[in-house]
Amino acid sequence: MADTELSAQIKTALGAVEIPGGGDLAGYGGLSEIIVTPGAIAFAIAVVPGMEAAFGPARDAAQKVAQDLGGSRKVMVSITAEKANSPKFGHGAAVPQGKTRVKGVQRIIAVGSGKGGVGKSTTAVNIALALAAEGLRAGILDADLYGPSVPKLLGIEGKPAIRDDGIFTPHEAHGLKVMSIGSMLVPGQAVVWRGPMATSGLRQLLRETDWGGLDVLVIDLPPGTGDIHIALFQQTIVDGVVIVSTPQDLALIDAQKAIDMLRRMAVPVLGLVENMSYFIAPDTGNRYDIFGTGGAERAAVSLGIPFLGAIPLVMSIRENSDAGSPPVATAPQGAEAAAYRAVARRLVASVP
Ligand SMILES: Nc1ncnc2c1ncn2[C@@H]1O[C@H](COP(=O)(O)OP(=O)(O)OP(=O)(O)O)[C@@H](O)[C@H]1O
């Protein structure tokens, strides 16, 4: 059967998959193009804020429908989310003075996003690994208080060791020094960890860790522009910020707000990375732009910032990252690692 026929057949069959709020997946506006190749089937479901879990059963059902029709093809159905922003940076605040560097750290590159759920943490971890692959002594600090995921992405468990003088010894994973704000949280505590507690927790992790001489520390920021960002940028010299976005997440207004905050806080914007940008069929190697093409590049141009590269939507990125085996470390010769390494090289070129 021709691939387009199977694609149409799957779409029709998705008419039997119910979605939250009524209706079916075939008629749902957030369903991407259904890519069918001789060896694979891939499509994505874009959902609105807070609906990722609710759409889980629909995704599982869609996966089954596609698998039943697709025979031995490998099936990937992803949910891509656009979560609500964190609290906004107040307008009119003065550009702060008195920023300092972190002891034992030459350069800091932060990774942020206008919105959550765009793959910011996955990108941050793989960029840090790619910087290490360029020969730099690299580390990563997980500042995403509202959803720390770096420990899972790097397969780290437990709290970091604390020396007698109260200084943290960071975890080590895949050649990276790693600290996560997740280690500071008691389960269920995150909600009340706002404002001063959150910022002092971050400060402690950043300043009271024995980084042991790093060329570059990557900081995985929370999404949006909130207290953590303001405190970090007020107190610390951050050499630049990378903004991660998905193609359908390119509501320019969000990226614009994040960039506006960075500019007013005198933090350089290093550029935009487009994540889950295109799908590469594992069998044919062909590229498919399932949500259209060129959005992030155009957005970068109109925002006046560099476009740093596009990361494909690949099943192995999700599966391996969620299992603590990020592709840059575990499959360094693969196409996924190459995409992250291209971004890292552009960063090395733009941060002295
Ligand atoms: N390029 C990719 N291809 C396939 N899956 C991806 C890709 N990038 C990220 N993912 C998956 O998307 C999900 C969300 O990624 P991640 O946790 O990095 O997002 P985030 O923006 O940091 O989210 P949050 O705002 O909740 O912290 C994860 O399951 C991850 O494995």
Range from 1-15, 78-92, 322-336 carrying the lowest mean pLDDT = 78-92
Token couple for 270: 């290093």
Contact 112 CB / ligand 1 (< 6 Å)? no
Separation between Cα atoms, residue 319 and residue 340, nearest integer Å = 17
Instruction: Give per-residue pLDDT as tens, 212-268.
Output: 999 999 999 998 888 888 889 988 999 999 999 887 655 556 777 788 888 888 899
ipTM, 2 dp: 0.96
In percent, the amount of the chain with pLDDT more than 70 equals: 87
Separation between Cα atoms, residue 66 and residue 201, nearest integer Å = 45
- Indicate which residue's Cα is closest to atom 12 of ligand 1: 119
Contact 326 CB / ligand 1 (< 6 Å)? no
Q: Say whether 166 counts as a known binding-site residue.
A: no
Instruction: Give per-residue pLDDT as tens, 89-147.
Output: 222 333 344 689 999 999 999 999 887 888 999 999 999 999 999 999 999 999 987 77
Q: Give pTM, 2 decimals.
A: 0.76
User: Taking residues 64-73, what's their average pLDDT?
Assistant: 91
Q: Which residue did the predictor score with more confidence, 352 or 203?
A: 203
Q: Is the dihedral of CA 187, 317, 83, 17 positive or negative?
A: negative
Phi and psi of 211, rounded to 5°?
Answer: -70, -20
Centre a 10 Å sphere on the Cβ of residue 120 and count the other Cβ atoms it contains: 28
Instruction: Give per-residue pLDDT as tens, 162-216.
Output: 888 888 899 999 999 999 977 666 555 444 455 666 777 788 889 989 999 999 9
Range from 173-182, 282-291, 331-340, 342-351 carrying the lowest mean pLDDT = 282-291
Exposure string (b/e) for 138-158, b if CB count within 10 Å is 16 or more? Answer: bbbbbbbbbbbbbbbbbebee
Res 343: pLDDT: 98
At 322, the amino acid letter reads D
Pocket of ligand 1, candidates 47, 221, 318, 330: which has the most ligand atoms within 8 Å of its Cβ, to mutate? 318
Contact 276 CB / ligand 1 (< 6 Å)? yes
Tell me, in angstroms, the distance from the centre of ligand 1 to residue 260's CA.
25
Provide CATH code, domain 3-81: 3.30.300.130
Contact 118 CB / ligand 1 (< 6 Å)? yes
Closest CA to 80 of 104, 116, 112: 116
- Indicate which residue's Cα is closest to atom 13 of ligand 1: 119
Domain locations along the chain: 3-81, 105-350
Pocket of ligand 1, candidates 321, 325, 330: which has the most ligand atoms within 8 Å of its Cβ, to mutate? 321
Centre a 10 Å sphere on the Cβ of residue 50 and count the other Cβ atoms it contains: 10
Res 2: pLDDT: 57
Closest CA to 324 of 221, 178, 136, 223: 178
- Indicate which residue's Cα is closest to atom 25 of ligand 1: 116
Instruction: Give per-residue pLDDT as tens, 38-67.
Output: 777 888 888 775 778 888 999 999 999 999
Provide CATH code, domain 105-350: 3.40.50.300
Contact 147 CB / ligand 1 (< 6 Å)? yes
